[in-house]
Amino acid sequence: MTTSAVLPTYARADLAFERGEGAWLVATDGRRFLDFAAGIAVCAFGHAHPYLVKALTEQAGKLWHTSNMFRIPGQELLARRLADASFADYVFFTNSGAEAVECAIKTARKYHVATGNPERWRIIGFHDAFHGRTLATIAAAGQKKLLEGFGPPVEGFDHVPFGDLDALKAAISHETAAILFEPIQGEGGINPLSDETMRAIRQLCDDNGILLILDEVQCGMGRTGKLFAHEWAGVAPDILATAKGIGGGFPLGACLASEKAAVGMNAGTHGSTYGGNPLAMAVGNAVLDLLLEPGFLDRVNAAASSLRQSLAMIVDSHPGLVEGVRGRGLMLGLKVRDGIENKRLLVAMRAAGLIGVGGGDNTVRLLPPLNITEEDVAACARLLDTACAALSAELKAEAKAAS
């Protein structure tokens, strides 16, 4: 019999935390952990950042919720700021990344209805994608492990190998409404799409009257050193879903759209009870204050360069355990050698005092807060080296016992 009443949909580590301080977490038993998972890229400014705490507590003392039946000044402000800083003309606020992707899917389909092409409703995505856990977003990702056991998948999604332009061209039909993908697959194992491929897909969309939807739930909001990852390629989407870092730890997501793409989304077509409420908007605006501070993204890129060099040294020091580093900015993945489960490295890291997160293709994701210091990077390298050495010794002992 279980001792917890929480639905067991997660294989949780036996570890609970009492408080956080910047990039560090303190467990209920007093142990300290360097948090390079950041709640899976959510805690963009670490734990208990004074500026975010102040914004939330001040708003909590004034007004929590009114619903979207009324104007919400903080929402109008954040939408305007996001639009001014991006390709978008409109923003819809949600509570999560999955809801933001759902909004993006609906916006794309509605665009084609509003422009006289209702037959265009199918959306093409990539293998190994992850777009959330709702019924439509698991269908959009198309992975068997996500769909299994939940009945017939939501209709209207086609899939091709990641970044395969020829397959993408072949999959386009008169029913295709949009192409949806993550510029860097996160859950799929930190797989970046090349800038050249991004530009080619944009052109493909333009040539075929198809909308481009980007899922920047994990790779957006400064994670790669730009406000949004697609900016590195010099292209703009028609619709974009983002979340995680946008709330710095408060549940918040957003669907951004150009005026053209949003043409069908008028009153009554979509909604959210909590999305964009005053509490979320107070934190979202505070996050954007920090993110758009002059020079901040330059510091993200400098920290990313330093961390990547440190990880390359770990790969050189432990070639039998890890084989490479991939990703962009502070969204990096360590590829663990085949035959060694990435979970084992994650366990060794926790034992050493470092928290990462697993990913597809046997990777360990490192997604630290965006404001990490040189000391944090040095601590990560030291703890990771300890973890790799411990796991290597463990594997050696197992091999010896088996021989």
Task: Dump pLDDT digits (tens) for 273-324.
Answer: 999 999 999 999 999 999 999 999 999 999 999 999 999 999 999 999 999 9
User: 1 pLDDT exceeds 70?
Assistant: no
Distance, in Å, from the CA atom of 166 to the CA atom of 129, rounded to the nearest integer, reads: 18
Distance, in Å, from the CA atom of 290 to the CA atom of 345, rounded to the nearest integer, reads: 33
Best CA proximity match to 228, nearest among 325, 161, 328, 131: 328
Are 208 and 172 in contact by the 8 Å Cβ rule? The answer is yes
Residue 49 to residues 54, 173, 287, 396, Cα–Cα distance (Å): 9, 49, 10, 42
Residue 264 is given by DSSP the state G
Are 44 and 287 in contact by the 8 Å Cβ rule? The answer is yes
Sign of CA dihedral 128, 129, 131, 136: negative
User: 374 pLDDT exceeds 90?
Assistant: yes
pLDDT tens digits for range 162-213? 999 999 999 999 999 999 999 999 999 999 999 999 999 999 999 999 999 9
Average pLDDT over residues 68-73: 97
- State phi, psi for 313 to the nearest 5 degrees: -70, -35
Distance, in Å, from the CA atom of 214 to the CA atom of 222, rounded to the nearest integer, reads: 15
The SS3 assignment for 399 reads helix
Best CA proximity match to 186, nearest among 328, 32, 49, 72: 328
Are 332 and 339 in contact by the 8 Å Cβ rule? The answer is no
